[in-house]
Amino acid sequence: MFFSGFIAERMNIRYFITIGMLLSGGACILFGGASYLNVHSIYYFILIQMFFGVVQSSSWPGVVSVMGNWFGKGRRGLIMGLWMSHTSIGNILGSLIAGVFVSSNWGLCFIVPGVMVCSMGLIVFLFLVPRPEDIFLQEVSSNPDKMQPNKFQLQEGSSLLKKCDKVETPTILMESKVTDDSGVEYDFDEHQHKDNEETAIGFVGALKIPGVVEFALCLFFAKLVKYTFLYWLPNYIHNQSNINAENAAFLSTVFDIGGIIGGVLAGVITGFSQKFNLKKG
């Protein structure tokens, strides 16, 4: 994940996430494909699992970066809480899919989710907009009251905006430079070029951000407990009761349902805490 974050800061996020999702889905399909290829070598599964871990680590740095670009601090608590539920929803879907096929065809437990991930990767490639300014919207500020329009936020009634409302809008937007009747020139290529020249933060610089080290340590131990429950709980339920493997997988999803509720509540509490601190300051 360290190297994934380093790369994500230095390339187009849309391409980065798409490539990561396609490779992750492909690795998952290869893992399940062993049942059809009649592969029984433990080294095959170890290598695929290691590759899977490497490419799957691309998702978190990329999507967090996109969310940070679109939402300022004032609205981030609830929105991030709602968005974070996607991990629990994914875990629930994975457990349900595994429960359906675990007794009949274990390979499909991996192939079906792999195909789903690849399909979503294509949707990300076609529709993801990494930053508001990429479509000439107002840049997000940490303080919404201090947000200022940039040169690409055209004022209502301007002649350039009227031009863009006409049929020849695609031609205008495809041109690298467009001049308004008032003589103001809008250089779209220059805008994209400057965005690509943003300085990416280094490893030492990231460590100097207040709270990064403490939060990283907290997340490490929290993840350790979470994934112990996530991967071990179905097997524990199956071995300690008369419930079969399929129903044990279904029952284990209750853990992630609680995760969804807890994530949203944590986001709401964080939002209220931020507002309280701003008023207090």
Tell me what pLDDT residue 111 has.
94
The three-state secondary structure class of 200 is coil
For domain 2-137+202-280, the CATH architecture is Up-down Bundle (1.20)
Tell me what pLDDT residue 120 has.
94
DSSP letter, residue 133: G
**pLDDT tens-digit series, residues 8-54:** 778 888 999 999 999 999 999 999 999 999 999 999 999 999 999 99
**pLDDT tens-digit series, residues 138-194:** 655 544 444 444 444 444 444 444 444 444 444 434 444 545 454 545 454 444 444
Tell me what pLDDT residue 195 has.
47
Tell me what pLDDT residue 211 has.
87
With cut-offs at 50, 70 and 90, classify the pLDDT of residue 278.
Answer: low
Q: Residue count of the chain, please give it.
A: 281
Task: Name the residue ranges covered by the structural domains of the chain.
Answer: 2-137+202-280, 154-196
13 touches 130 (CB < 8 A): yes
206 touches 212 (CB < 8 A): yes
Tell me what pLDDT residue 162 has.
46
CA dist 74 → 137, 142, 236, 260, 277 (Å): 18, 7, 42, 22, 11
Give DSSP secondary structure letters for 213-271. HHHHHHHHHHHHHHHHHHHHHHHHHHHHSS--HHHHHHHTTHHHHHHHHHHHHHHHHHH
Both tokens assigned to 229:
């429950």
> Which of 191, 209, 193 lies closest to 68, judged by CA?
209
The three-state secondary structure class of 261 is helix
Would the pTM count as exceeding 0.75?
Answer: no
Tell me what pLDDT residue 78 has.
78
Both tokens assigned to 162:
């009227």
Separation between Cα atoms, residue 239 and residue 248, nearest integer Å? 9
Dihedral angle at the C-alpha atoms of 92, 98, 99, 103, nearest 10 degrees?
A: -170
**Diameter over CA atoms, the chain:** 79
**pLDDT tens-digit series, residues 188-240:** 444 444 444 456 677 788 888 888 899 889 988 988 888 887 778 888 888 88
69 touches 195 (CB < 8 A): no
Is it the case that residue 128 has pLDDT exceeding 70?
A: yes
SS3 annotation, 212-227 = HHHHHHHHHHHHHHHH
Angle between helices 13-37 and 108-127 (to 10 degrees): 160
